[in-house]
């Protein structure tokens, strides 16, 4: 069912697979089956027939809308009556033969009577005989939702969630039909429970990219205030009242964890966070904890909630979010006022999500936004000069346009904000396979490579040597725009972007081994930093053992980096990550 090379990477933990660059999208699976865990929440009474609605994503080309008649649900070998429809087709901006011709996400609705409080398994199959027990009418999905009254939210927060969650296999989710790019699922030893911080702090380095995987899981528990019962309220995450933890899309970051882990806990908290977020998006499309600021305006988590739960209410604020993003002037010129890569990225991402769900004229909007970014990278029609030492690939703009983070009259760009643009462009590539986007990401990697320096001024007192550090701001001639020891905290996200740049360099037959090298250097920086932030004795003083500071760091690190391992594995020139930097 899975790509043989992906299986090779998963089973051998990146140990020895060397191959030509993989296609970006996973291959079609025209017939098959997956096991789905149905997890009842506290409101479900054993023995009662309970409505369950969930989405199943498919790699592009796997099944068309007529083929949904072959989607069947089995429990204990017996077919279960099911309603099945298409939530979203696979869209394609550039190839009409691929646009809307296969199902991206199918919605399935069944009833299940649980024998107790434990999860139960059903099997979803497709591509074989037609469904024998067909249900023709969709029951309102939210008729089987309830108000959350314990855990991360209480009744007064008015957060809703499904009575039953459907947990899909991590191997299937990692094929990327939801995120837009493929990833490597967590290894089997990385289970759902929070790891013992004393154990993890004693492990300097994990093989492959397991350090990032463990941190994504363990820091998630800090994010939802379940690090340790001894952590005092003053040191917990104030996600209900403070906007800061929501920057970089808190809910989507949790969904990204779910896509690679298949953990029920991460799915449940992601759905809850998304519902809270949507409730706090006002009619103008802004997040009311930070009204008027488009860098807090996200559509991505709405799509994931819609696709995974089948709940149309998730899209209530989608059009308002797109409208709010329209207020940012992304078309850069020297006369433009405020402009940052971050704002441009979130505008493209919101419109791309809207295109994926709604299609139609949104295709033109996405094409326009992508074209502006490509034009900007190309020099904005001659408006960006190329001085001696010019560094290709950056989205250069004046310091005065970027809140004065470098000299007002100097042209510069931000390394870690550029990562956000790469992430949005990857998503746009998933529904276009546009060569211009591939080339854009490859060239952005060159900028990020030059932006990375090696220094002992990195702030990690657990490591005395020099580490790769991505400078926050770099001028167009490669000199410092702004650099600080805290830039070391962007090792993982920048490594993800250079990994994708290396992938596209390979895919377009323009290899640059330096991209693979800087990816590994940056990841080693991150790997070293994970241990710096583990404080096993912290709970004795009311502090988290797995520190996340600032809280938004979880989003900037993990939402954009889920595909890092796959991008490395899929590139021929990447060093073997098991043995890179001398550790195994």
Q: For 306-322, what is each residue's pLDDT tens digit?
A: 999 999 999 999 999 99
pLDDT per position as a tens digit, 278-295: 999 999 999 999 999 999
Q: For the beta carbon of residue 293, count every other beta carbon within 10 angstroms.
A: 14
Residues 6 or more apart whose Cβ sits within 8 Å of residue 507:
21, 24, 438
> CA–CA separation, 574 vs 555, rounded Å?
26
* pLDDT reported for residue 296: 98
3-state secondary structure 139-201: CCHHHHEEECCCCCCCHHHCCEEECEEEECCHHHHCCCCCCCCCCCCCCCCCCCCCCCHHHHH
> In this structure, which CATH number among 3.55.40.20, 3.50.50.60, 2.30.40.10, 1.50.10.10 belongs to the domain 207-582?
1.50.10.10
pLDDT per position as a tens digit, 207-243: 999 999 999 999 999 999 999 999 999 999 999 999 9
> CA–CA separation, 348 vs 428, rounded Å?
8
**Paired strand residues for 146:** 161
Where residue 21 falls among pLDDT bands split at 50, 70, 90? confident
Length of the chain: 584
Alpha-carbon Rg for the chain, nearest whole angstrom, is 23
DSSP 27: P
Mean pLDDT of the chain: 94
* pLDDT reported for residue 573: 55
pLDDT per position as a tens digit, 61-74: 999 999 999 999 99
127 pLDDT above the threshold of 60? yes
CATH fold for the domain made of 31-168: Immunoglobulin-like (2.60.40)
What's the average model confidence in pLDDT over 6-27?
A: 56
> CA–CA separation, 584 vs 579, rounded Å?
5
Max Cα-Cα span within the chain: 75
475 pLDDT above the threshold of 60? yes
Between the alpha carbon of residue 482 and those of residues 104, 386, 392, 425, 463, the distances in Å are 43, 20, 18, 25, 23
* pLDDT reported for residue 579: 28
* pLDDT reported for residue 20: 65
In the chain, domain spans: 31-168, 207-582
169 pLDDT above the threshold of 70? yes
What tokens appear for 277 in the block? Answer: 């977020």
> CA–CA separation, 570 vs 439, rounded Å?
17
């Amino acid at each position: 069912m899975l790509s043989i090379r992906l299986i090779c990477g998963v089973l051998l933990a990146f140990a020895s697979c060397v191959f030509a660059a993989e296609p970006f999208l996973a291959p079609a699976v025209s017939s098959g089956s997956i096991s789905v865990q149905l997890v009842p929440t506290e409101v479900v009474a054993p023995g009662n027939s309970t409505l369950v609605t969930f989405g199943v994503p498919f790699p592009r080309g796997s099944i068309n809308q007529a083929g949904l008649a072959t989607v069947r649900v089995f429990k204990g070998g017996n077919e279960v009556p099911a309603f099945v429809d298409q939530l979203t087709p696979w869209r394609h901006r550039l190839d009409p033969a691929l646009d809307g011709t296969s199902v991206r996400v199918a919605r399935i609705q069944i009833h299940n009577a649980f024998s107790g409080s434990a999860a139960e398994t059903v099997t979803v199959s497709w591509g074989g005989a037609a469904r024998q027990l067909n249900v023709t009418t969709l029951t309102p999905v939210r008729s089987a939702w309830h108000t959350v009254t314990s855990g991360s939210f209480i009744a007064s927060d008015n957060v809703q969630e499904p009575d039953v969650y459907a947990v899909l296999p991590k191997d299937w989710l990692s094929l990327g039909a939801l995120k837009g790019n493929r990833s490597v699922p967590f290894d089997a030893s990385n289970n759902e429970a929070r790891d013992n911080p004393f154990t993890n702090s004693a492990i300097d380095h994990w093989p492959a990219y397991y350090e990032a995987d463990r941190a994504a899981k363990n820091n998630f528990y800090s994010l939802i205030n379940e690090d340790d019962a001894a952590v005092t309220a003053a040191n917990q995450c104030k996600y209900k009242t403070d906007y800061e933890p929501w920057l970089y899309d808190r809910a989507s970051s949790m969904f990204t964890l779910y896509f690679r882990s298949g953990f029920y806990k991460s799915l449940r908290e992601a759905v809850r966070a998304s519902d809270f977020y949507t409730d706090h998006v006002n009619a103008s499309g802004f997040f009311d904890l930070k009204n008027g600021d488009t860098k807090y305006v996200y559509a991505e988590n709405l799509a994931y909630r819609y696709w995974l739960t089948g709940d149309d209410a998730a899209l209530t604020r989608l059009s308002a979010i797109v409208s709010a993003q329209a207020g940012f002037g992304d078309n850069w010129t020297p006369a433009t006022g405020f402009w940052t890569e971050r704002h441009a990225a979130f505008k493209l991402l919101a419109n791309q999500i809207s295109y994926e769900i709604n299609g139609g004229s949104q295709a033109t909007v996405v094409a326009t936004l992508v074209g502006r970014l490509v034009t900007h990278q190309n020099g904005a029609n001659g408006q960006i000069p190329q001085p001696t030492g010019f560094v290709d690939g950056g989205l250069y703009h004046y310091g005065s346009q970027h809140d004065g983070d470098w000299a007002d009259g100097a042209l510069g760009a931000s390394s870690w904000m550029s990562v956000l643009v790469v992430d949005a462009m990857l998503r746009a590539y998933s529904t276009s396979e546009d060569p211009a986007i591939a080339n854009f990401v490859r060239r952005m990697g060159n900028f990020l490579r030059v932006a990375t320096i090696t220094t002992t001024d990195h702030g990690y007192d657990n490591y005395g040597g020099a580490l790769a550090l991505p400078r926050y701001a770099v001028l167009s001639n490669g000199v410092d725009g702004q650099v600080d020891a805290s830039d070391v905290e962007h090792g993982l996200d920048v490594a993800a972007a250079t990994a994708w740049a290396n992938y596209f360099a390979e895919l377009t037959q323009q290899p640059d081994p330096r991209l693979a090298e800087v990816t590994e250097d940056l990841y080693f920086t991150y790997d070293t930093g994970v241990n710096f932030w583990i404080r096993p004795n912290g709970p004795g003083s009311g502090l988290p053992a797995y520190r996340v500071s600032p809280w938004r760091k979880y989003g900037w690190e993990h939402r954009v980096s889920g595909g890092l391992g796959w991008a490395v594995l899929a590139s021929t020139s990447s060093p073997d990550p098991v043995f890179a930097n001398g550790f195994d």
